[in-house]
Structure 1
Amino acid sequence: MKNDKLVIIPTYNEIENISDMIHAVMGLEENYHLLIIDDQSPDGTAAQVKKEQETFPDRLFLLQREGKQGLGTAYIEGFQYALARNYDYIFEMDADFSHNPADLPRLYDACNRGDCDMAVGSRYITGVNVVNWPMGRVLMSFFASKYVQFITGIPIRDTTAGFVCYRQKVLRTIDLEKIKFIGYAFQIEMKFTAWKLGFKVKEIPIIFTDRTKGTSKMSKHIFREAIFGVIYMKAKSLLRGYQPASDAYLSS
């Protein structure tokens, strides 16, 4: 029987987290498949994934890329991999346990029940649910999402969230070749495009916990891309025709 769920995790220097993350996903009651996309991590992340494949040969997969190419391009390759193999539900999440693997079934249930086409693990739908972040970073992230809402009109509160479940039809409808951003603006662009195309989006409250192992990949370049990219994205959308999306958002 075909498995219908694929979790995609991009990695760069995640040797300290990757084995624990693999076992956490593999240990869930539902039978998830897991695709690691590694950008030639110098710390040996890919080699560790290959070792774990000996334990999970039919459920754990690895794509190795040449050099550090960015979060967005990694997910696009992962989406194409998933669509080529006809997975019904495709997930994004981080390798560092800031997203709790135990929340994967909650995102899956939201889409599988038919409530929505895209479920977003949201830090801000029930207040601010962030643990171990400095206050400055919490405020930057929170107000970045408010800024995106103001510029675009999108009703999603956590627009930069990287913990997402898509139904297959969303990724088949979005022209992935036209998704241009590679940093955290990629997350905004995917949500904005899905919403404008009329898909139902639901935010599921999660607790986001900052990494305790490894180092953050956030940079000033990524932040600038998100700030200025939103204006570009909104302007570009005015030249395109989308389905009406006024009823496409579902609160939690």
Structure 2
Amino acid sequence: MTNPRQSANSTASSVLVVIPTFNERENLRTIVRRLTTAVPTTHVLIVDDNSPDGTGALADEIAAVDERIHVLHRAAKAGLGAAYVAGFDWALRRGYEAIVEMDADGSHAPEQLTTMLEVLPRAGMVLGSRYVPGGTVLNWPWYRSLLSRGGNVYSKWALGVAINDLTGGFRVYRGEVLRELELHTVASQGYCFQVDLAMRVVETGSTVAEVPITFVERESGESKMNGSIVREALLRVTKWGLRRRGRRLLAWLSGGRAPLRRGR
């Protein structure tokens, strides 16, 4: 539950950072401290999926002494996508103008958020990108790097979009754009969730801007990456790509322009 005092003050900031957590007790206090130091005016929403290690209780402790911090407790682990959708809904109902995705494990440097926020007035979404000039990844094993780069190259080709880091999870959305994305229809998770939302932003006609970031592999805790997440991404991206190409072919054959946006 969210502290009533915090809810009353939610619109004191126009920026909300949504941080999903599951067993991130070792990392949470540090990442929140870094974030509120780097961008003191931002608010933070910790969305905890009933972590067995007590992350939710720690989040409540942090929120009790800092009115910028809010906590949304969920009954059980239901996936990254569902956690973000719950956080986005919470943010939109409270009128935040900029809504940020960021991991709790330290992979995303809060110190780079200021640059991303500066670009937001010129875009519907700003993506912290590992795969544009100036972007980099530190401390990943070769196979993880190969999987990520290969997945992004394939997604970019299959979907026909000019985004280099479709699977990146450090991003900022304008609230007005996020409202258009029909979040209640999002069922994808993990890498696939990030691709899904990026495509939805593109389909609104909004600009996606990529800002180079340094991504650092977590130093503590366990990665949530697994084979089922990779398989879901491959299957869904392939299906979406075929649908987009089919609509373009139909538009060409009919001499008109078929709508890009149609059920997923």
- TM-score, normalised with respect to structure 1: 0.91
1:2, distance to aligned residue in structure 2 (A): 2.8
- 2:16 aligned partner: 6
**Is the 2:129–2:135 contact (alpha carbons within 8 Å) kept by the matching residues of 1?**
no
Over residues 9-66 of structure 1, what are the superposed CA-to-partner deviations in whole Å (9 max), with x where a residue is unaligned?
000000100011111112224401000001111000011111111220x211111111
CA contact under 8 A between 2:17 and 2:102: conserved in structure 1? yes
Aligned residues: 240
| Partner AA of 1:61 in structure 2 | H
The equivalent of 1:181 in structure 2 is 188
Residue number in structure 2 paired with 1:102: 111
| Equivalent of 2:91 in 82, 86, 95 | 82
Bigger-Rg structure (1/2) = 2
Which residue pairs with 2:4 in the alignment? none
Residue-by-residue CA offset, 1:177-233 (whole Å, 9 max, x unaligned) = 122202220000000111122111100000100000111000000010111110222
d(CA) in 2 for partners of 1:165 and 1:136?
28
The SS at the match of 2:72 is: strand
Give 1:79 deviation, angstroms.
Answer: 0.7
Q: 1 CA distance for matches of 2:58 and 2:85?
A: 23
Alpha-carbon separation, structure 2, partners of 1:197 and 1:44: 39
Q: Report the counterpart of residue 205 of structure 2 in structure 1.
A: 198
Q: How far apart are residue 127 of structure 1 and its match?
A: 6.5
Q: Distance in 2 between matches of 1:55 and 1:82?
A: 21
Q: Say whether the 8 Å CA contact 1:71–1:184 is kept in structure 2.
A: no
State the distance in 2 between where 1:29 and 1:81 align: 21
Q: Say which SS state the counterpart of residue 16 (structure 2) adopts.
A: strand
For the 8 Å contact 1:14–1:96, the answer to whether it is kept is: yes
8 Å contact kept, 1:98–1:208: yes
- How many Å separate the matches in 1 of 2:134 and 2:30? 29
Identical pairs, percent? 38
Equivalence for 2:251: none
Match for residue 157 of structure 1? 164
**Distance between the aligned counterparts of 1:149 and 1:115, measured in 2?**
22
Q: Does 1:46 align with 2:63?
A: no
- The separation in 1 between residues aligned to 2:260 and 2:87, in whole angstroms, is 25
5 Å-filtered alignment, 1:1-252, equals 2-56=12-66, 58-111=67-120, 114-126=121-133, 129-237=136-244, 241-242=259-260
Unaligned runs of 5+ in 1: 244-252
Q: What SS does the aligned partner of 1:124 have?
A: coil
Give structure 2 stretches of 5+ with no counterpart.
1-10, 248-257
* Cα deviations by residue, 1:85-138 (Å, 9 ceiling, x for unpaired): 000000001001100010111111110xx2211100000011661100001110
CA deviation string 1:144-166 (max 9, x = no partner): 00000111001100010000000
Counterpart Cα distance in 2 of 1:29 and 1:94: 16
TM-score of the superposed pair, with normalisation by structure 2: 0.87
Higher helix residue share: 2
Q: How far apart in 1 are the matches of 2:39 and 2:82?
A: 30
CA contact (8 A) 2:134 2:213 kept: no
> Considering only aligned residues, what root-mean-square deviation do their CA atoms show, in Å?
1.5
Distance 1:174 1:29 in 2: 27
SS at match of 1:202: strand
Per-residue CA deviation, residues 63-86 of structure 1 (Å, 9 max, x unaligned), is 111111000011111110110000
